[in-house]
Structure 1
């Protein structure tokens, strides 16, 4: 994800004032300078993102993990929210770029 420098500065200023959130854009730009960022995802979310990376559907993942497809979609949605991802592929890319999967 590319972020313009002025947008990153605005995000960092909001975060410093306690009004912002730690977004994937901040993590991807500032995280490496501070060392490896802690992974905000649960073990189950990581497991499911690994399976998404293999192009498996929610139904396939659900069958493999003995979960309902709705539960799998909820885990994917939760991971996307935590990573500020636009879609499941973007969540996988962020997690892979951070070295979490």
Structure 2
């Protein structure tokens, strides 16, 4: 599937993102490991903690720079919130003093 042509602020953001040599491989590696954790059902709590900042950034990028991708980003974020709700008992120990 061909990449859509980027223009304006999103193009500048994308060029800056691709200029860093480690950021995209790191994010994609985390996404892959979290996806494997979600599919296998193991370490789902840890995967939710790791993937939440990435999904928030995807949501903000789509909200501010490319609004046409906002429905997919919102579904991704809501899916992450649902998994946090589903495994909420595992998070209780994180928030206790």
Q: Verify same fold: TM over 0.5.
A: no
Query: Which one has the bigger helix percentage?
Result: 2
Taking structure 1 as the reference length, the TM-score comes to 0.30
Larger relative contact order, structure 1 or 2 (CA cutoff 8 Å, min sep 6): 1
Taking structure 2 as the reference length, the TM-score comes to 0.31
